[in-house]
Amino acid sequence: MDELLKQEPLAQAESQLGHDIALRAARRALEAARNVILSEAKNLARSGGRRQGSSPAARDDTEALAAQPAGNMLRGEAAQHDIGELAAEAARLAWQVVTPSLKPVVNATGVVIHTNLGRVPLGPAAIEAMQRIAGGYSSLEFELASGSRGDRQEHIQRTLQELLAVEAAVVVNNNASAVLLALTALARGKEVVVSRGQAVEIGGGFRIPDVMRRSGARLVEVGTTNRTYIADYEQALTERTAALMRVHSSNFRVIGFTHDVELAEMAELAHKRGLLLIDDLGSGSLVDTSRFGLMQEPMVQTSVAAGADVICFSGDKLLGGPQAGVVVGRKAAIDRLKRDPLMRAMRTDKVTMAALQATLLEYLKGRALETLPVWRMIGAPLDVLRSRAEAWAAHVTGAEVIDGRSAIGGGSLPEETLPTALLRLPKQGSAARQLASLRKADPPIIARIHEDAVVLDPRTVLPADEPALLAALGALS
C-alpha cells in the first residue's frame, strides 16, 4: 500500500483529493487486482487438476491460494511489473469518486419520453428560469406587495387558472404522489369506485390497487376488464363512497370488444350523488396529439370540460416540463389536498416551481410547439430527420439510412409510433459491443439495436449534441 501511494498518479490524486479518498481508491484497486489474480490462480489450479485427473486436489489448491495473504502474491514478478498500472487504476478510481455520476447522455434511441434517460429535455425558458431562481433568494413564499408570508403554490396556481380556467391547482413531486395525495385527502377510510380495466400498473411499482390501499381508501372495482358501463358505477355506490375515479391505462391498451364510460357521464353521476370525480390522466397533454398523426392522448382541457373535480397529470411526460405532479380542479377539493399533512412531505422546491411555471407560460404564450423539446421532437418533419441521418451517414463508412419508427414512450400513446429515418451502422462484430463502445463516448451515446444492427434516430438527438455524436461515430470506424 505504501509503495502504491508513492506512485506518481496516485500521489498526485492524494495531494489534490486528500489521503482518505486516495487510500480507499488504492484499496479498491488492490482488491480488484487480487480478485483477478485469485480467479486466474483458480483457473490454473482447475486446469492443473484436470490434467492430473483429481479435482478434489484442485479445489484444495484453490483454497490454499485463496487463504494466502494477497500481499505475498503482489510481491510476485507480475505484480512488481504492474504497480504503475495499479496506481493508475487507483488514481482513476479516486477521480471517479469526485466526478458526478449523473451526467448528460445523447439519446439516439428515438424514444421521446425516455424515463431511464430523465424523461424529456427542458426548454430554454425553463432552463433559464431554473438558473435565475437557483442561485439566489426568491419570492417563493413571500408576497412582494404586502411584504407578508405567501404560498408557494400561488405561482403555478395563477398560471394554471389562466391557462385552463380551473378554480385551483396544486403541485407535488410527481404524478404518483399527486394520486396518493388526492386519494388520501379525499377518500381515506372511504370507498373509491374504479373500472376493473383501469386498476392498472403503470410501471416502476405504481399500481392503482396498492396506491389505493396505502392511501387508506378502499378500491371498489366495477365492470369487467374490457367493458364497464355507467350502471356498473351506479350499482357500486354506497354511503361509504367518496369518489369515482378514472385512471388512464397509459402503457397498455385493451382493443376490440370494449366499452368505457365517458368522463362527462361519470361526472354527472358523481355530482348527482354528491361525490367527487378524480381523473388520473397519467401523461395528460395540453396539445392535441392527433395533429401529429398519433392517437389523441387524453387532454387536460377535455377533463376540465367534462367536469372532473380533481385532475392529476405528470409534469415531465407530454407536458415537457420538470418532474412534477400537477393537480387541477375544484377549489373545495384542491383545498383539502393543500391542507393534508402529506402535502408538506410532497411539496416541490423552488427550482422545480420555476421550471414548471416557465414551461406552462410557453403554452400560455402559444409557443410551446416551437420551444419545448418534447413537441419539437414529436413534430419533427420526416424530411428534416432524413437529411440529418444522411449527414451523419457521411461520417461513417458503410453506414446507411433506413426507414424506421420512433416511439413516444413514458407510458404515453402505447403502440403509437412516428415514421423516422434511422442511421444504421455497419455490422462490426456484435451489435451489443458496438452499443457498449458508443456508451463509452463522452458524452455517452445511447442507441438501440434493430434487426441485429445498431441504429441511431435523429429525432431525439438535440442539435447541440450532434458534434459529439459525429465525433463518437468517427471514432467507431
C-beta separation of 151 from 141 below 8 A: yes
* Residue 284 sits in the site that holds ligand PLP (CB under 6 A): no
C-beta separation of 354 from 171 below 8 A: no
Compute the distance between CA of residue 419 and CA of residue 407 in angstroms, rounded to an integer.
9
Q: Which of residues 130-169 bind ligand PLP (CB under 6 A)?
A: none
Q: Out of 109, 174, 302, 434, point to the residue binding ligand PLP (CB under 6 A).
A: 174
* Residue 62 sits in the site that holds ligand PLP (CB under 6 A): no
Q: Which is nearer to ligand PLP, 186 or 396 (CB)?
A: 186
Q: Name the minimum Å distance from CB 246 to ligand PLP.
A: 10
Tell me how many residues contact ligand PLP (CB under 6 A): 15
Q: Determine phi and psi for 201, rounding to 5 degrees.
A: -105, 130
Cα dihedral across residues 68, 74, 76, 78: positive or negative:
positive
Binding mask 250-269 for ligand PLP (x = CB under 6 A): x-------------------
Report the residue number whose CB is nearest to ligand PLP.
282
* Residue 303 sits in the site that holds ligand PLP (CB under 6 A): no
Q: Name the minimum Å distance from CB 383 to ligand PLP.
A: 32
Q: Which is nearer to ligand PLP, 249 or 406 (CB)?
A: 249
Q: Which is nearer to ligand PLP, 278 or 358 (CB)?
A: 278
* Residue 180 sits in the site that holds ligand PLP (CB under 6 A): no
Q: Out of 215, 302, 314, 348, point to the residue binding ligand PLP (CB under 6 A).
A: 314
Binding mask 321-360 for ligand PLP (x = CB under 6 A): ----x-----------------------------------
Q: Which is nearer to ligand PLP, 197 or 282 (CB)?
A: 282
* Residue 280 sits in the site that holds ligand PLP (CB under 6 A): yes
* Residue 202 sits in the site that holds ligand PLP (CB under 6 A): yes
Q: Which is nearer to ligand PLP, 306 or 441 (CB)?
A: 306
Q: Which stretch binds ligand PLP (CB under 6 A): 47-55, 148-156, 172-180, 367-375?
A: 172-180
Q: Which of 72, 5, 1, 50 is closest to 30 using CA atoms? A: 1
Report residue 334 as a C-alpha cell. Answer: 384542491
Q: Which is nearer to ligand PLP, 251 or 420 (CB)?
A: 251
Q: Name the minimum Å distance from CB 214 to ligand PLP.
A: 14
Q: Name the minimum Å distance from CB 319 to ligand PLP.
A: 10
Binding mask 407-426 for ligand PLP (x = CB under 6 A): ----x---------------
* Residue 297 sits in the site that holds ligand PLP (CB under 6 A): no
Compute the distance between CA of residue 22 and CA of residue 95 in angstroms, rounded to an integer.
9
* Residue 248 sits in the site that holds ligand PLP (CB under 6 A): yes
Q: Which of 241, 222, 225 is closest to 233 using CA atoms? A: 222
Q: Which stretch binds ligand PLP (CB under 6 A): 37-45, 173-181, 424-432, 437-445?
A: 173-181
* Residue 175 sits in the site that holds ligand PLP (CB under 6 A): yes
* Residue 282 sits in the site that holds ligand PLP (CB under 6 A): yes
Report residue 327 as a C-alpha cell. Answer: 393537480
* Residue 247 sits in the site that holds ligand PLP (CB under 6 A): yes
Q: Which is nearer to ligand PLP, 248 or 376 (CB)?
A: 248
For ligand PLP, the binding residues (CB under 6 A) are 174-176, 179, 202, 206, 247-248, 250, 280, 282-283, 314, 325, 411
